[in-house]
Amino acid sequence: MSINQSIKPLTLEEKEHLFLGGCDLVDLARKYGTPLYVIDEASLREICKNYKSAFKNYKNIKMMYASKALCTSALCRILDEEGFGFDTVSAGEIYTVYKSNVDMSKVLFNGNNKSLKEIELAIDLGVGRFSVDNFYEANLLNKIAYEKNKTIDILLRITPGIECHTHDYIQTGQTDSKFGFDLTQIDEIIGLIKNEYKNLNLKGLHAHIGSQIFELKSYYDEIEILIKEIKRIKEIHNIELSEMNIGGGLGVKYTTNDNPPSIEELAKSITDSMQKYGIDVPTIYIEPGRSIISTSGVTLYTVGSSKQVPNGRKYVAIDGGMADNPRPSMYQAEYFAQVANKPKHENIEKVTIAGRFCESGDILINEIELPKLETGDILCVYNTGAYNYSMASNYNKVEKPAMVLVNNSLSDIIVNRETLDDLVSKDVIPDRLKK
């Protein structure tokens, strides 16, 4: 079994309290405050090794971590140590990776509307690959590269036209998508690259079909389309493409209803379909984000008020919610939780976990069976490593939580909790309004 098939991180222990990485989660809540993101280093390194061993028979494979899932400097260091490259989508992510002493040739810059400033920064910092998304960008990138007297290695982001079964907002490969070139536009863009964009060096194709994918068939379909295009491009344009980026998207297990394939199964589906087409094997890039970091992370909250609606639901409120984890209110995402100070107590009531933010939709978990919850209890919500902190906001002017890395009974802060002064640090009062 690989870790993306488990709800809980590898080192989670249920004793008188919940322990993670050998650390008592109740102690961590007391020491660092709540809400608190906690990352289990052992789980993270294990899943990285799992990816590497699953693909060990396929030598031309490059693992790129999709840093939009969670991008902090300490995390970049760990992934760099584990031999991963980085898929980035903004100057902020590129800069974070750069400041973490990563070899920038291992970085890919992706996105459907990269700005002039972002492109310039990426070129100046030596980002290894650009995934070119559209005609406008190809033209702009070529112009900037020409001015800087550089040749840029690029992939073309294409829309393979695949419907995969996941939430509409996280599906990206269907025909009518904002990302990438439609298959019918490929010949035109390649013509431009061949004849006009002399500062772009086309290395391969890139696609990404969506996120939280449970059906491996989507990958077979995607690879078939990419290989057919690579063959067709060779015939029509006499260009030999040596790289194929198949994106990320492998699902994780948020609740008992989720049954994602293992990383071994994903690897087998990819290598099998490559063999089936029998072309000279290009370098394959994969870009997992969620499946790398989701299961390694949990969030700790403190229970505050509660409300029993007469003849209705019981709401229990925690000290965080949609600002530190927007996924439930954004796409009805479901989570599983336990009470960190009562892991062995029997589940005796069905409650709805409400956030503290001023929106009725700020419900973190809709109906979950838990032991009797009391003010001061510490709730541990699982699978919050991906798309939680990276999507967090300061809604209601609330400080973003701290993040702690645990391993071998040690805990280290890797992101400081924001302070009230941080919250006003960008505000400016014009002189005429000063008191």
Binders of ligand PLP among 22-51, rule CB under 6 A? none
Find the binder of ligand PLP among 160, 261, 288, 343 (CB under 6 A): 288
Max Cα-Cα span within the chain: 75
Applying CB under 6 A, the span of 1-9, 145-153, 288-296, 421-429 interacting with ligand PLP comes to 288-296
* Residue 155 β-bridge partners: 131, 204
Min dist CB 110 to ligand PLP, Å, is 5
Classify 256 as helix, strand or coil.
coil
CB of 78 to ligand PLP, least distance (A): 17
Pick from 211, 273, 325, 352 the residue near ligand PLP by CB under 6 A: 211
Integer CA distances (angstroms), 269 to 4, 82, 152, 158, 381, in order: 17, 23, 31, 21, 32
Single-letter residue type at 332: Q
- Residue 182 phi/psi, 5-degree rounding, is -65, 150
| Complex with ligand PLP: residue 133 or 324, whichever CB lies closer | 133
Taking contact as CB under 6 A, which single stretch among the options 256-264, 281-289, 370-378, 423-431 is the one that binds ligand PLP?
281-289
Give the alpha-carbon dihedral of 387, 393, 395, 398, to 10 degrees: 110
Q: Which residues from 57-76 bind ligand PLP, rule CB under 6 A?
A: 66, 68-69
d(CA 173, CA 153): 23
For residue 386, what are the contacts with CB-CB under 8 A and spacing of at least 6? 69, 70, 252, 289, 290, 292, 293, 294, 297
- Is 342 a binder of ligand PLP (CB under 6 A)? no
Please report how close the Cβ of residue 30 comes to ligand PLP at its closest, in angstroms: 32
Q: Minimal CA–CA distance to 50: which of 27, 8, 83?
A: 83
Query: From the CB of 66, what's the least distance to ligand PLP, in Å?
Result: 3
Query: In the bound complex, what is the minimum distance in angstroms from residue 77's beta carbon to ligand PLP?
Result: 20
Binding residues for ligand PLP, total number by CB under 6 A: 15
Here the tokens at position 223 are 């690879």
Name which of 100 and 110 has its Cβ closer to ligand PLP: 110
Instruction: Identify the DSSP state of 153.
Output: E
Closest to ligand PLP by CB, 249 or 321: 249
Per CB under 6 A, the list member of 118, 221, 222, 287 interacting with ligand PLP is: 287
208 touching ligand PLP, by CB under 6 A: yes
Q: Which of residues 291-320 bind ligand PLP (CB under 6 A)?
A: 291
Query: What's the closest the beta carbon of residue 391 comes to ligand PLP, in angstroms?
Result: 12
The answer to whether 407 touches 41, Cβ cutoff 8 Å, is: yes
Shortest Cβ 291–ligand PLP spacing (Å): 6
- Determine, following the binding rule CB under 6 A, whether residue 290 of this chain makes contact with ligand PLP: yes
Q: Answer left, alpha or beta for residue 125, where phi above 0 means left and psi between -120 and 50 means alpha.
A: alpha
Closest contact distance (angstroms) between CB of 166 and ligand PLP is: 9
Which among 16-24, 264-272, 285-293, 377-385 is the span making contact with ligand PLP, rule CB under 6 A? 285-293
By CB under 6 A, residue 248 contacts ligand PLP? yes
Tokens 């972002």 found at: 118
Query: Candidates 244-252, 301-309, 323-331, 421-429 — which segment interacts with ligand PLP by CB under 6 A?
Result: 244-252
Task: Report the distance separating Cα 321 and Cα 154, nearest Å.
Answer: 40
Give the residue with the Cβ less far from ligand PLP, 27 or 82.
82
Q: Measured from the CB atom, is 260 or 343 closer to ligand PLP?
A: 260
Strand, coil or helix: 25? helix
- Residue pair 252/211 in contact (Cβ under 8 Å)? The answer is no
Query: Is residue 158 at the binding interface for ligand PLP, with CB under 6 A as the rule?
Result: no
- Judged by CB, which is closer to ligand PLP: 180, or 321? 180
Rounded to an integer, what distance in angstroms lies between the CA atom of residue 60 and that of residue 50? 17
Residues 6+ away with beta carbon under 8 Å from 82? 45, 48, 49, 52
Catalytic residues, by residue number, are: 358
Is the distance from CB of 267 to CB of 9 less than 8 angstroms?
no
Q: Are 16 and 381 in contact (CB under 8 A)?
A: no
Facing residues of 129 across strands? 108
Dihedral sign for Cα 418, 423, 424, 428, please: positive
Figure out which of the listed residues 260, 289, 297, 321 binds ligand PLP, where binding follows CB under 6 A.
Answer: 289
- Judged by CB under 6 A, the chain residues 84 through 143 that form the site for ligand PLP are 87, 110
**Interface stretch with ligand PLP, choices 25-33, 132-140, 271-279, 283-291 (CB under 6 A):** 283-291
Choose one: 22-30, 186-194, 260-268, 287-295; the region binding ligand PLP (CB under 6 A): 287-295
Residue 288, phi then psi, degrees to nearest 5: -75, 140
Name the residues that contact ligand PLP, by CB under 6 A. Answer: 66, 68-69, 87, 110, 208, 211, 247-249, 287-291
